[in-house]
Amino acid sequence: MTATPAPLRPAAPVADPEELAARTRAFVETTVTPAEAEVIAGRPVDDALRVELQAAAREAGVFGPVSPREYGGLGLDMRGQALVLEAAGRSLLGPLAVHGSAPDDANIELLAAVADPVQAESHLAPLARGEVRSAIAMTEPAPGAGSDPSMLLTRAERTGDGWRVTGRKTYVTGAQGAAFLIVVAATDEGPTIFLVDAGRPGVRIGRRIPTIDRAAVGGHCEVDLDGVAVAPGEVLGPVGGGLAQAQTRLAPSRLTFCMKFLGLAARAHELTCAHLRGRHAFGVPVAELGIAQAQVADSEIDLTAARALVRDAAAVLDTAGPTSAAARHAAAVAKTFVSEAVWRVLDRAVQLHGSVGVAEDELVMRFLLEARAFRIYEGPSEVLRWSIARRALRAPR
């Protein structure tokens, strides 16, 4: 089911990214964190909440950091997104509120790069404006494709008037309530990407998988495709070129995940420092105990290093392009380090909060639960290390 947002406002004048990041942070603090408290207390993260928050983001002029300006977005490059999405990421709901949450952010990148004019009008425009949601159906149950896309089992066969797609997908983020799916399927020419309306005959949105992270609108779902008819005009990019086309979203998606979770870790670190200053043990503030100070220092180091890696990788994507070898390498390095650094910072935050830190209605524990999957989504650390090493071991560049 598609929710109807507030009327679209024209894009704000081009803003300085630092000023926009400051406004985004203020918006998150005043508008988003009260809604976050409701979610921690049990309010569902659904389309009603999404529409409410995105209307407020439009009003504040911080909507659409990844959306092109011609569709009412801010049209930021990756360096600008690094500032703004970190600010938005300070709340579990911040990226959703500004329309920079997965999978829509990366799907906007893909469609902006690959869609033809008709597809841009039918799919990119409403998605970029926040009128609909999308999902990408790539991962399959074993023995199908996961980190290795060459293992695709979902097939698309030519018919007299287009294609028929058959297969099973899993961990399709946002599938419940999505207007359309971006489906990757094998063809005789090679992997190919198809635009499939979610309500089409043969598309069945199945079980919503009960994952440890719960902040994604539409959840992570199983999807069955049973002879789904797809028109020739719904092939995204060239037939057989799906893997190359998917690269346009992969490096940006890995990096925007880093930006958002970096903001979450930074906020957890600040909450921890405030807790340590106010908590006493053995006659002194816990903040004065050396063993606590060592953990605070390690989190400062992790956050500083992660921020530097994200901004360096963003510059590489902006200058070399998201599909370049340099961009893929920089994004893989950043995603591997940042996902693990974020986990360390959040784990320390829980530890330093003591017994209150393990309660699921405490922010630091909810942040930790949401962040655990970050080390797997968009490429597990182990697979990324393998690809990083392969590039490093090739002939000198």
pLDDT at position 332 over 80: yes
What does the pLDDT read at residue 11?
46
Q: How confident is the model at residue 67 (pLDDT cuts 50, 70, 90)?
A: very high
Q: What does residue 87 show for φ and ψ, rounded to 5 degrees?
A: -65, -45
What does the pLDDT read at residue 64?
97
What does the pLDDT read at residue 397?
58
What does the pLDDT read at residue 10?
47
Q: What class is the 17-128 domain?
A: mainly alpha
- Please report the beta strands in 120-238, taking only residues with DSSP state E, as ranges in sequence order: 134-137, 155-159, 162-173, 180-185, 192-197, 203-208, 220-230, 235-236
The angle subtended at Cα 60 by Cα 55 and Cα 64, nearest 5°, is 65
Q: How confident is the model at residue 85 (pLDDT cuts 50, 70, 90)?
A: very high
As annotated, the residues of the chain forming the CATH 2.40.110.10 domain(s) are 134-239
Percent of the chain whose predicted confidence (pLDDT) is above 90:
91
More confident residue, 56 or 397: 56
Q: How confident is the model at residue 70 (pLDDT cuts 50, 70, 90)?
A: very high
What does the pLDDT read at residue 316?
98
As annotated, the residues of the chain forming the CATH 1.20.140.10 domain(s) are 243-392
Superfamily of domain 134-239, CATH level 4:
Butyryl-CoA Dehydrogenase, subunit A, domain 2 (2.40.110.10)
Mean pLDDT of 77-96: 98
Mean pLDDT of 336-348: 98
Please state, rounded to an integer, the average pLDDT across all residues of the chain. 94
As annotated, the residues of the chain forming the CATH 1.10.540.10 domain(s) are 17-128
User: What are 267-306's pLDDT values in tens digits?
Assistant: 999 999 999 999 988 888 999 999 999 999 999 999 999 9
More confident residue, 319 or 3: 319
Q: How confident is the model at residue 13 (pLDDT cuts 50, 70, 90)?
A: low
User: Do the Cβ atoms of 163 and 87 come closer than 8 Å?
Assistant: no
What does the pLDDT read at residue 207?
97
Mean pLDDT of 322-340: 97
Among 9-18, 69-78, 207-216, 251-260, which stretch is predicted with the lowest mean pLDDT?
Answer: 9-18
Distance from C-alpha of 168 to C-alpha of 155, rounded to nearest angstrom: 10
Mean pLDDT of 50-69: 97
Kindly list the distances between the CA atom of residue 308 and the CA atoms of 17, 124, 330, 336, in Å, as whole numbers in the listed order. Answer: 17, 32, 12, 14
Mean pLDDT of 139-154: 94
Report whether CATH 3.90.260.10 matches the domain 243-392: no
Q: How confident is the model at residue 330 (pLDDT cuts 50, 70, 90)?
A: very high
What does the pLDDT read at residue 149?
87
pLDDT at position 14 over 80: no
Q: How confident is the model at residue 8 (pLDDT cuts 50, 70, 90)?
A: very low
pLDDT at position 15 over 90: no
What does the pLDDT read at residue 360?
86
pLDDT at position 7 over 70: no
pLDDT at position 5 over 50: no
Contacts made by residues 301-308, CB under 8 angstroms, sequence distance 24+: 302/265, 302/341, 302/342, 302/344, 302/345, 303/262, 303/265, 303/266, 303/269, 303/341, 303/345, 305/337, 305/341, 306/258, 306/262, 306/265, 306/334, 306/337, 306/338, 306/341, 306/342, 307/86, 307/262
What does the pLDDT read at residue 4?
45
